[in-house]
């Protein structure tokens, strides 16, 4: 990294703000990949305080506890919820289990102050709304782990927008050509892309551009996954329309051709944002996991015509960025300020996902308010 690149990286607000108090006791429900290899790695690297864990597989929970030096292991999450030392919950369970956990958790609002839930927040918008209302009624702060907002290139792009380097947004696109590692629970739900991968991109569009007015989506099966279980949302294409004229679109291709990862068609996620005063483009390093591959950002502005700036950083989305959602929740509990990733805000992302399904089914553009007001 050159001195000029280092300076640009420092100038950009690409890292999350950390709480003053990092000793808040955290109880972890779930011990799968996201918890074991992302959340807990990021928490330990930043001095957070996970004190207890429970999952449907107690033996695996014990292994994860030993790996991450967690003192308490419970055979069932109901026992963990009884632990009055725990102030914040980190819930990383399959989405069809989330509401069951939340219904139990809100009964312990005598000591629980905050909950971080994995996305998607339940099975659909209606279920997510119930989860949000349960937490609000219990006085528990709910955050949703929309962690692509904390990818370093996405946050750096947000910083450019705030500074005015790009002017007003005109068009943003995301092009995903990558084959994810699917979770076992997806087969029983019949989900592939919209609620698993596209939800990241839809939320990133909301984070950077605001709330769209309508969406048009077209989906088809992924030939490879179709051999394993039936589904509708394999390859997903969608266009977002904004009242102010901005347009956004994403091609989420989890098929990416019949050849393997050793082909010339390497897995990738690329994004591009054009504004009235500049242009930014980036790559997401996640498809190279577990190899540490930082996401990137290049940008050019009318202030310096013809000069591409290429900030770089050592941090990566998986696992480094996973400190962001929990840090934001803890900061919110400290300050009392509203959360950017609150459950209430996330209902708009869930509504956008449901609108994509409806659009694809009915072959029409769907107003987001159709879902929000349903």
Q: pLDDT tens digits, residue range 343-371?
A: 999 999 999 999 999 999 999 999 999 99
Distance CA 81, CA 104 (A): 8
Domain 16-146+335-341 class? Answer: alpha beta
Q: Which of 220, 200, 204 is nearest to 212 (CA)?
A: 204
Separation of CA 335 from chain center = 23
Q: Is the pLDDT of residue 56 over 50?
A: yes
Question: CB within 8 A of 189, min separation 6: which ones?
Answer: 94, 95, 96, 123
Percent of the chain exceeding pLDDT 90 equals 92
11 pLDDT tier (thresholds 50, 70, 90): confident
Q: Is the pLDDT of residue 207 over 70?
A: yes
Q: Is the pLDDT of residue 259 over 70?
A: no
Is residue 299 classed as helix, strand or coil in its secondary structure?
A: strand
Q: Which of 38, 25, 98, 113 is nearest to 320 (CA)?
A: 38
CB neighbours (10 Å) of residue 163?
12
Residue in the block written with tokens 């904390």: 150
CA angle 122, 48, 315 (to 5 degrees): 80
180 pLDDT tier (thresholds 50, 70, 90): confident
Calculate mean pLDDT across residues 155-176: 98
Q: Are 367 and 214 in contact (CB under 8 A)?
A: yes
Express each pLDDT in 94-131 by its tens digit: 999 999 999 999 999 999 999 999 999 999 999 999 99
Residue 252 phi, psi dihedral angles, 5° rounding: -105, 95
Return residue ranges of the chain for CATH 3.40.50.720. Answer: 16-146+335-341
Question: What is the rounded (10 degree) CA torsion for 271, 274, 277, 279?
Answer: 30
Percent of the chain exceeding pLDDT 70 equals 95
CB neighbours (10 Å) of residue 30?
26
Q: Is the pLDDT of residue 261 over 80?
A: no
Tell me, what's the pLDDT at 265? 61
Taking the whole predicted model, whether its pTM rises above 0.75 is answered as yes
Tell me, what's the pLDDT at 68? 98
Calculate mean pLDDT across residues 248-252: 98
Calculate mean pLDDT across residues 165-180: 96
Question: CB within 8 A of 353, min separation 6: which ones?
Answer: 120, 125, 194, 195, 198, 199, 202
CA angle 56, 141, 48 (to 5 degrees): 65
Crossing angle of helices 125-138 and 95-105, rounded to 10°:
20
Tell me, what's the pLDDT at 238? 98
Mean pLDDT, the chain, integer: 95
Tell me, what's the pLDDT at 257? 87
Q: Is the pLDDT of residue 6 over 50?
A: no
Q: Is the pLDDT of residue 262 over 60?
A: no
Q: Are 348 and 355 in contact (CB under 8 A)?
A: no
Return residue ranges of the chain for CATH 3.30.360.10. Answer: 149-317+348-368
**The CATH number of domain 149-317+348-368, selected from 3.30.470.10, 3.30.360.10, 3.40.228.10, 3.20.20.70:** 3.30.360.10
Q: Is the pLDDT of residue 7 over 70?
A: no
């Amino acid at each position: 990294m050159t001195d000029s690149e280092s300076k640009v990286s420092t100038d950009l607000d690409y890292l999350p703000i950390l709480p003053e108090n990092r000793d808040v006791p955290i109880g972890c429900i779930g011990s799968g990949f996201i918890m074991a290899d992302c959340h807990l790695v990021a928490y330990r690297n930043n001095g957070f305080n996970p004190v207890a864990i429970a999952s449907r597989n107690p033996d695996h929970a014990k292994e994860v506890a030993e790996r991450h030096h967690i003192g308490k292991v419970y055979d069932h999450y109901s026992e963990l919820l009884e632990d009055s030392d725990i102030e914040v919950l980190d819930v990383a369970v399959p989405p069809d289990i989330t509401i069951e956990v939340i219904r139990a958790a809100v009964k312990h609002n005598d000591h629980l102050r905050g909950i971080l839930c994995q996305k998607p927040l339940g099975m659909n918008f209606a279920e997510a709304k119930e989860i949000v209302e349960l937490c609000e009624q219990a006085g528990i702060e709910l955050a949703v782990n929309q962690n692509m907002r904390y990818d370093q290139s996405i946050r750096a792009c947000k910083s450019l927008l705030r500074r005015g380097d790009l002017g007003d947004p005109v068009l943003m696109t995301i092009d995903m050509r990558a084959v994810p590692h699917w979770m076992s629970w997806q087969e029983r739900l019949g989900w592939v892309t919209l609620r698993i991968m596209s939800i990241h991109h839809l939320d990133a569009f909301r984070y950077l551009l605001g709330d769209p007015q309508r969406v048009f989506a077209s989906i088809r099966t992924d030939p490879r996954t179709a051999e394993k279980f039936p589904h509708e949302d394999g390859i997903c294409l969608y266009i977002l329309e904004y009242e102010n004229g901005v347009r956004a679109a994403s091609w989420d291709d989890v098929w990416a051709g019949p050849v393997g990862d050793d082909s010339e068609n390497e897995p990738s996620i690329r994004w591009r944002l054009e504004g009235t005063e500049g242009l930014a483009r980036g790559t997401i390093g996640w498809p190279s996991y577990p190899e540490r591959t930082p996401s990137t950002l290049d940008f050019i502005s009318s202030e310096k015509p013809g000069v591409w700036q290429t900030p770089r950083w050592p941090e990566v989305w998986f696992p480094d960025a996973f400190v962001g959602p929990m840090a934001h929740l803890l900061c919110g509990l400290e300050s009392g300020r509203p959360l950017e990733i609150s459950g209430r805000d996330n209902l708009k992302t869930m509504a956008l996902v449901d609108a994509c399904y409806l659009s694809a089914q009915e072959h029409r553009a769907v107003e987001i308010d159709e879902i929000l007001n349903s």
